[in-house]
Chain A
């Protein structure tokens, strides 16, 4: 007997009682004990919520077109472990990027030293990096609510809001290119996220150099590029009171 009976609710997944289990997970009933279904909110190609059917017979070849799925439990567990380990920031997956502990500790120490040291070095470094940003590529981190792993996007590759929004849609909401047997529980829309008209349920915001969270699209592009530090895609329902937001 192949071991492939269903995993219904996320609670079976979580061996660790401290695991955060999202309310978005939905349990699916067992079907002939042959399919393994996991509800995920983290997947490839769009990071959207979907169920992965993992049939363990020859039909697994058809599910080879299934989107790859990371067990949410494991990612969240990883994040939990990260909090206990010496990794510098939370929200990161344990052991990623794969840098030896020894080197990671060195990096952390160096970062601390650089932060503590007086500005001359720091200013020089920042100036160089600012200049670099202006010149060639400008990577900023983009996170979407409900997804632990952020992405990075090169803002200098775009010159207008439309192209930025298209790229973000591709990154986070791209529909399956291969024929899929998947259903999507979540958002199917491809509306412009940028327009905060509530039609897509999502809104794009950014944190500027002063630390304030603003709606994307209000200012001219050049001004936006000059002041943006990072991006966040959030649900419209949460997008009120921009000034109060923090990550």
Chain B
């Protein structure tokens, strides 16, 4: 990257020199700054081609954003060459502007609802509609090949529009989306002749049956990845078998739970080239011959690197998986209710594992095995197995994470649910693994202190942010005072996303964060006792961030109004499930969502969202949603 930036600097000076020379040679009556088109015309003969070529090496959108700020000709060159467009907040910019800016767009990624929507904190109907984007792209960018949406409302009409409008459409990836049915999927399957990726990750789909699978035409052979793990209903086995047989490029297949174990073997036989496999249910009764056939079929998957699904995995079927273990780099056992001894059995054979998702049934002992055997581990997620706190019978403690942090040198990303924790453990973990980039600890007891010393977990998180200099994402929990956030503000300079719940004492907490964390882009807070002061004092910071979410805090309606007036380039949304008839300035609001935008107020706010722009008679705009 350094050499590229040197090249940039050289080119910049070259470009500037040429520009300046052109000014000097210009007719004196011209204005000093030539028009944009003149400058582009001047530059296109030489620098454009060179720039274009150099920019083709710049993949990261962050770098491209920086590049486009250098000067007008760079802006022009960059925008004409960007192929993959990422919009982190669908309301931050208008679809039309994006469509116009990037004529060569081939891939569009959009994110809609705030992250806390995953935990039911955003009422239904809040927004995040995909339609305006799809409509805009269909009209202006018909060569679009890929659409990736996260936390958005996608309707069948959207899917039909995609199928009808983009003749080279190749890839649809929907994560945590909702609003569509299997009919919409059928439309995509039947119409997109060049479809390569169809992935539905944890979506909420109106499942009208498994027919959609039969809509893939017999001539379609282009499929590379298919993920329908979130659907409920059964697909026809023969449809699936035929699809697999004619898809030699299929690398990733994730079945849903209703695909039973007895048919798995037949499917795998037809797709031995799979790199990623998500099985269906793993709990049917198989006779010994079937077991043996399945074992063989799995062992034939020589390229398999990732395994998931495994719903209801029975201990007696674990040996069936032995053959794939040594090659696995990614294993998702988070839906497999397997107990610790069986987990150890499995994991001790996975020496190449880089990513492990598992339930807390693994216990400390199981994690110790992971620490010993899985030396390549980079990402660990441990989910709770009991749906509510009452039923925690497992011995997963902080010790488990300490062991893994000791044994796995490459560990950089952690999500850990645990009942309680200690400062000492956090300090150890920080000492062991200063290379953390993502550290999310969820102490499930709100306000739980260090259970040995009864102290807040301030010192523990201090160690984390002090030592892990590359920390990008952090979730804190347990008993925390303002001090913890002072430490975070002082040390976590690269932190981009921070999630907080049930913590802090006062406004100082928010103040430390907003004034200290230079790289902060997303902040989400729930149930913390700060209010208006810190928010208003640090208003300017909010324009440097993508978004701020606060729910069940002590922010008053008056402060929201003030903030809206003060910062016209922020959208300040007050979201109350049951908005009151009158709202005095002093009343606290249930939720606020603040984000920067150049698109102005959005047109599709529902009744329960207040913004300063709102006229009471405007409800949900019919134009914006379909």
Residues of chain B having any CB pair with chain A under 8 Å: 116, 118-121, 176, 202, 204, 230, 312, 334-335, 337, 339, 363, 383-395, 397, 417, 419-420, 442, 444-448, 451, 454, 479, 481-482, 499, 501-508, 526-529, 531-533, 536, 551-552, 554, 556-559, 562, 576-580, 584-588, 590
Contact = CB atoms under 8 A, between A and B. Distances in A.
A56 B383 contact: no
A110 interface: yes
A112 to B, nearest CB: 10
Given A54-B506, A61-B508, A95-B119, A133 B393 contact: yes
B120 A141 contact: no
B482 A132 contact: no
A164 interface: no
A61 B393 CA distance: 42
Contacts of A92: 388-389
B370 to A, nearest CB: 19
How many residues of A sit at the interface, in one of the four size bands?
35 or more
A139 to B, nearest CB: 6
A197 interface: no
Contact of B533 (A2, A96, A107, A139): A2
Nearest to A57: B533
A79 interface: no
- B390, B508, B579 pick with most chain A CB within 10 angstroms: B390
A54 B479 CA distance: 20
Contact of B392 (A7, A77, A87, A152): A152
A153 B529 CA distance: 26
Interface of A: 1-7, 12-13, 15-17, 36, 38, 44-45, 52, 54, 56, 60-61, 63-71, 74-75, 77-78, 81, 85, 87-89, 92-104, 106-108, 110-111, 113-114, 125, 128-129, 132-133, 135-137, 139, 141, 149-152, 154, 170, 174, 230
B367 to A, nearest CB: 14
A65 B451 CA distance: 21
Contacts, number: 203
A17 to B, nearest CB: 8
A77 B393 CA distance: 29
Contacts of A56: 507, 531-533
Given A6-B586, A74-B552, A152 B118 contact: no
Given A15-B587, A56-B532, A88 B388 contact: yes
Contacts of B202: 100, 102-103
Given A2-B536, A97-B417, A113-B312, A16 B120 contact: no
22 contacts: A4-B533, A4-B556, A13-B588, A36-B556, A61-B506, A71-B588, A75-B552, A81-B577, A88-B388, A89-B388, A92-B388, A94-B119, A97-B384, A101-B120, A102-B202, A102-B230, A135-B395, A141-B390, A149-B447, A152-B392, A152-B419, A170-B454
Nearest to A63: B506
Q: Which 3 A/B pairs are nearest by Cβ-Cβ distance?
A: A3-B558, A95-B119, A74-B552
B445 A152 contact: yes
A108 to B, nearest CB: 5
A133 B394 CA distance: 8
Given A99-B384, A101-B118, A3 B532 contact: yes
Given A95-B526, A154-B451, A7 B552 contact: no
A72 B382 CA distance: 31
A158 to B, nearest CB: 12
Nearest to B530: A54
Nearest to A56: B533
Contact of A94 (B120, B204, B576, B578): B120
B312 A98 contact: no
B444 A74 contact: no
B585 A5 contact: yes
A207 to B, nearest CB: 12
A85 B420 CA distance: 26
B392 A98 contact: no
Given A71-B552, A129-B394, A64 B508 contact: yes
A148 to B, nearest CB: 10
A65 B505 contact: yes
Nearest to B578: A16
B387 A36 contact: no
A95 B507 contact: no
Contacts of B529: 52, 54, 66, 68-70
A67 B121 CA distance: 25
A114 B337 contact: yes
B393 A101 contact: no
Contacts of A16: 577-578
A150 B389 contact: yes
A224 B389 CA distance: 22
Nearest to A92: B388
A4 B339 contact: no
A63 B506 CA distance: 7
Contact of B385 (A54, A102, A107): A107
B187 to A, nearest CB: 24
B420 A44 contact: no
Given A16-B577, A68-B503, A154-B451, A149 B387 contact: no
Contacts of B397: 137
Nearest to A3: B558
Given A3-B557, A97-B442, A137-B397, A89 B533 contact: no
B515 to A, nearest CB: 14
A147 B390 CA distance: 16
A12 B119 CA distance: 27
Contacts of A4: 531-533, 556, 586
Nearest to B587: A12
Contacts of A6: 586
Nearest to A97: B444
A152 B556 contact: no
Contacts of B587: 7, 12-13, 15
A125 B447 CA distance: 30
A3 B565 CA distance: 14
Contacts of B391: 111
B508 A60 contact: yes
Contact of A3 (B388, B552, B562): B562
B394 A98 contact: no
